[in-house]
Amino acid sequence: MTKIIGTTIKEKRHIIIIGAGFASSGEIQSYLSHVVDHFDLAHHIEFKTTVTRSAWSEQESKWLLNTECNGIVNKVRKADVLINAAGILNHYRYPDIPGLDSYRGRLIHTADWDHSVDLAGKRVSVIGAGASAVQVIPQIQPLVKELSVYIRTPSWITSLPDSFEGVDNNPDNPPDYIQRCKSLESYYNKLFPVFYRDSNTQTQKREELELWMRERIADPSLRKNLIPNYELGCRRISPGEPFLQALQKPNVTCVFSPILTYQPEGLETHDGIGISDVIIAATGFDTSFRPRFPLLGRNGVDLRDLWKDDPISYMGLGCAEFPNYLSMLGPNCPVANGSLIGSLEAMADFFVRLLKRVDSFDVATFMPDKGAQEDFNLQVEEFMKGAVWTGNCTSWYKRGKGGRITAVWPGSSLHYREVLEQDRWEDWNWTYRGRRYGIWGKGESAVEKAGGDHSHYLEHGPLLQMSSLA
């Protein structure tokens, strides 16, 4: 952890050089730093500080947080409300393959890139064919001597959306810039019907994309193994025509046989041992939603244990029996339902409204009602019966092949925003420090206190013509 805004971006040390139309990690981090500077937020941030434990104190109605800074244990911090905004795609993981200690070459994860390793002229193996591999393989293919790509499950690969030519991409031209942003957001939001398994949109888009991939994969056997046989959208769809092009270069071999074990020389499959100077794991992240530190709610229940097998929450926002605890991007948040940025903003807006209620009514504790949480998850299960995410694929959305969908909202991103705007306070349990309506004070309105229009409720509008009633 370093004194840099956007540590999630900093943790992901990619080799990837992003093309036109996409922001690099450096650009994103620069933007976040600009936001912090613009709103003067830096003095609210404790840098180089790691939370090592958090526990709910029933006696104080507060969260007690243990932290460390550069290995030095800090005093226990207290918080009325704990918001976990640690995210879900930042704790990278290596594949569960035996024999790792026996491998004598270099092992790199795409999210923890070692820039000291020179790949030029090397024999390199990449494990995985998901979003990370789609990005990294086109970048390293021209550099290496030999590239072996181990593919367990193929991904649907698509072209980039239209470039929206004629729309100004300069943020210094606000009207055109906003129009470009709206065009991009609308493009992705309109794709949601593809996620209904039996919809005409699913059938049409799948046929179109299959044809598109067939036209770009020349070898019939490669085509057979690279075009998925599961529903479009069952797992993440990746824009990556350069990826398909790279897989067909003379120095690239696609390996579809399952990896059995690491060997000193490389990776062993049923077809033999692939010699590798460097192995790159493009194998994603720990997506269990479990906190990376002990998080103890009522009666000492650790959220890591509670979510070990099946993470269940209330709308991805909180969890029953964990008072005054909120989460950004919790279980069943809309990570694959359309544009995520708007959903994150909706979460933040909801948290602000909730905290204003806590402050206004002198709330001591709040947490999702267990019954409401159960009903929400029943709705998730019912919705997913007709969604592509329960299809015949291996996906982190369902923690593998046959698990419950834990990472997708039961609806579109636009639907999510509308749901959060409704403020279903009846779905939460509240306790109060004193009189819940003490905020009413002397019973005066804001107008009576500060002055203003004492008959503001009489608005100008269309007048009823009394003569017409005669």
In a domain? residue 15: no
221 and 275 co-located in one domain: yes
Q: Return d(Cα 60, Cα 52) in angstroms, integer.
A: 20
E strand segments, 48-132? 49-57, 62-69, 72-73, 77-79, 82-84, 106-109, 123-127
- Number of separate domains in the chain: 2
Let me know whether 240 and 355 are in one domain.
no
Query: If we measure between CA atoms, which residue out of 266, 267, 373, 368 comes closest to residue 312?
Result: 373
Q: 260 in helix, strand or coil? A: strand
Which ranges constitute the DSSP H helices of 95-199? 131-140, 174-189
Looking at the fold, whether 113 and 195 belong to one and the same domain comes out as yes
Residue 449 forms part of a structural domain:
no
> Which residue among 219, 254, 281 closes a domain?
281
Residue 420's domain comprises 48-91+287-432
Residue where a domain stops, chosen among 260, 281, 302 = 281
pLDDT tens for each residue of 411-430: 999 999 999 999 999 999 99
Q: How is residue 406 written in tokens? A: 């834990």
Strands, DSSP E only, in 276-362? 278-281, 295-296, 325-327
Residue 71 lies in a domain: yes
Tell me if 12 is assigned to some domain: no
The answer on 272 and 343 residing in a single domain is: no
Residue 447 counted as domain residue: no
Same domain? 110 vs 171: yes
Give yes or no: residues 106 and 72 share one domain. Answer: no
Q: Is 261 helix (H, G, I), strand (E, B) or coil?
A: strand
Q: Residue 434 is which amino acid?
A: G
Q: Within this chain, do residues 266 and 125 fall inside the same structural domain, yes or no?
A: yes
Determine, yes or no, domain membership for 245.
Answer: yes
Domain-located, residue 256? yes
List average pLDDT for each run of 10 residues in the chain, which is 470 residues long: 56 54 80 94 92 97 95 91 92 93 96 94 97 95 98 92 55 80 87 95 96 97 96 93 97 98 97 97 93 96 96 97 97 90 95 96 96 98 96 88 88 96 97 84 88 86 63
Residue 98 near residue 262, CB atoms below 8 Å? yes
pLDDT single digits (tens) 260-284:
999 999 999 999 999 999 999 999 9
* pLDDT for the residue 23: 75
Residue whose C-alpha is closest to residue 405's, from 290, 234, 284: 234
Residues 170, 277, single domain; the answer is yes
Check residue 151 and give its pLDDT.
97
Minimal CA–CA distance to 85: which of 45, 28, 143?
Answer: 45
Any bridge partners for residue 109, and if so which? 112, 281
Same domain for 298 and 261, yes or no, is no
Q: Residue 399 sits in a domain of what CATH number? A: 3.50.50.60
Which residue among 253, 281, 309 closes a domain? 281
Asked if residue 135 belongs to a domain, the reply is yes
Q: Across the strands, what pairs with 77?
A: 65
Q: How many angstroms separate the CA atoms of 398 and 214, rounded?
A: 28
Q: Are residues 83 and 141 in the same domain?
A: no
- Do 138 and 257 belong to one domain? yes
149: Cβ contacts below 8 Å, ≥ 6 apart: 125, 126, 129, 133, 137, 247, 252, 253, 254, 255
Does one domain contain both 207 and 248? yes
